[in-house]
């Protein structure tokens, strides 16, 4: 994320790990060869999905991973697929953010 | 051969170079400062083009970069401000900044434009040697621009030799591995490092920068090199209300 002059633009994400203006070269490449599809999720969708995972599975996902969980609802399944979601980090570190967001 | 090369060939007394950030304290300050520095007897100047993430700079130059960006400075505007550079001053001029704005502008276009304006070289602390050699060296040479590499106390002798082979201006010795604006500690270790580099009898001349703020540190540095570079101390002066008027006094205080 940068201006035309090459200055870094301050990014925004509710998730500290996504609050970063760059993107890894592997992701850029996978996107370019259309091997992977990249989508976006709002703060609210991610937070709701994170909470649901905690309620249903007893696992508090990191807010980064909660973005992936949120996309499950938007996908169309035939019933034959196996879905894999990587929970890349634990949500203990994000408890403050969860508590403040849901006013728990 | 550019103005920088000629300067190093002629002058025998220690050379004083001064850095300032383009567009600071005001967007239009750039050439006024350059002219005042030449008039006061600075041997060459380094004009910083500001970057949002200046990783080699301490708080003083960081703040000046931030202020310059808020004032609206961009590479395009800087090049516009330098359009009469060679009608206004005759001392060598280097541009100093970070690689991302150059990439966005286009490195080839950047080199061409800089040469056209009469710029003599570039200092880009985050441009790695490998990328310079593989991608940009030819472009710099074609445009008669010196690329100035940085050497720290941790740089290996092999790498210093390689830098020497790739350089055609001078080599910039960092007084320590810290950011700009820390006071240079003229310690035994620092002196040993400066002497070690001096004893390598490099093909290129060397200058010491980072932490040079007054006559004492300038003289200490000049014992080992062709001269020294002052940055933060000068930028701090520019931040004061009467900074512009005190430029001659500042330069004379370092020269002694």
Residue B74 and residue A5: Cβ atoms within 8 Å? Answer: yes
Tell me the backbone φ, ψ of residue B148, rounded to 5 degrees. Answer: -100, 120
C-beta atoms of B101 and A4 within 8 A: no
Instruction: Sheet containing B206-209: give its strands across.
Output: B146-148, B121-123, B93-96, B44-48, B15-21, B227-230, B206-209, B171-174, B150-151
Distance from CA of A6 to the nearest CA of B (A): 4
The average pLDDT across B60-78 equals 97
pLDDT beyond 70 at A46: yes
- What average pLDDT is seen over chain B? 94
Instruction: Compute the average pLDDT of residues B140-160.
Output: 96
Residues of A in contact with B105 (CB under 8 A): 5-6
Q: What sign results for the dihedral spanned by CA atoms B105, B111, B115, B119?
A: positive
Mutate to test the interface with A, among B23, B49, B50, B52 (most CBs of A within 10 A): B52
**Closest residue of chain B to A4, computed from CA coordinates:** B104
Mean pLDDT of chain A, nearest integer: 93
Q: B185 falls in which pLDDT band (50, 70, 90)?
A: low
For B223, residues 6+ apart whose C-beta sits below 8 A from its C-beta are B194
Is the predicted pLDDT of residue B186 greater than 70, yes or no? Answer: no
B202-207 mean pLDDT: 96
Alpha carbon distance B2, A42 (integer Å): 55
User: What does the alpha-carbon distance between residue B24 and residue B48 come to, in Å, rounded to a whole number?
Assistant: 10
The pLDDT value given to residue B184? 64
Place of tokens 């970063």: A20
Q: Over 90: is that where the pLDDT of B178 sits?
A: no
A4 vs B contacts (CB less than 8 Å): 104
Reported as a pLDDT band with limits 50, 70 and 90, residue A16 is confident
| Upper half-sphere CA count for residue B158 (Cβ side, 13 Å) | 0
Name the region of B211 (left: φ>0; alpha: ψ -120 to 50; beta: rest).
Answer: left
- ipTM given for this complex: 0.81
The interaxial angle of helices A43-57 and A95-102, nearest 10 deg, is: 110
The answer to whether residue B203 scores a pLDDT higher than 90 is: yes
């Amino acid at each position: 994320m940068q201006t035309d002059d090459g200055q870094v633009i301050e990014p925004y994400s509710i998730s500290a790990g996504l609050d970063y203006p760059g993107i890894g070269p592997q992701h850029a490449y996978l996107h370019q060869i259309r091997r992977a599809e990249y989508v976006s999720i709002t703060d609210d969708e991610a937070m709701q999905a994170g909470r649901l995972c905690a309620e249903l599975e007893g696992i508090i996902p990191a807010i980064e991973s909660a973005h992936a969980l949120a996309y499950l609802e938007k996908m169309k399944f035939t019933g034959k697929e196996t879905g894999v979601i990587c929970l890349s980090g634990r949500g203990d570190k994000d408890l403050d953010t969860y508590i403040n967001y849901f006013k728990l | 051969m550019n103005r920088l090369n000629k300067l190093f060939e002629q002058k025998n007394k220690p050379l004083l170079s001064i850095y300032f950030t383009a567009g600071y304290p005001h967007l239009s300050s750039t050439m006024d400062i350059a002219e005042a520095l030449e008039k006061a007897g600075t041997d060459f100047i380094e004009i910083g083009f500001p970057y949002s993430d200046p990783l080699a700079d301490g708080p003083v130059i960081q703040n000046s970069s931030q202020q310059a960006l808020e004032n609206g400075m961009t590479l395009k505007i800087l090049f516009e401000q330098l359009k009469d550079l060679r009608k206004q001053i005759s001392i060598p001029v280097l541009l100093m900044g970070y690689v991302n704005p150059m990439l966005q502008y286009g490195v080839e276009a950047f080199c061409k434009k800089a040469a056209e304006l009469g710029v003599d070289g570039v200092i880009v602390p985050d441009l790695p040697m490998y990328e310079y050699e593989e991608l940009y060296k030819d472009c710099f040479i074609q445009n008669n621009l010196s690329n100035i590499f940085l050497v720290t106390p941790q740089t290996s002798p092999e790498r210093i030799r390689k830098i020497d082979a790739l350089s055609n201006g001078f080599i910039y010795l960092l007084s320590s591995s810290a950011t700009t604006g820390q006071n240079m500690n003229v310690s035994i270790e620092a002196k040993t490092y400066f002497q070690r580099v001096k004893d390598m009898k490099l093909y290129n001349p060397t200058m010491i920068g980072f932490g040079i703020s007054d006559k004492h540190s300038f003289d200490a540095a000049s014992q080992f090199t062709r001269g020294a570079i002052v940055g933060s101390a000068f930028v701090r002066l520019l931040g004061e209300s009467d900074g512009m008027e005190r430029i001659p006094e500042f330069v004379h205080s370092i020269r002694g």
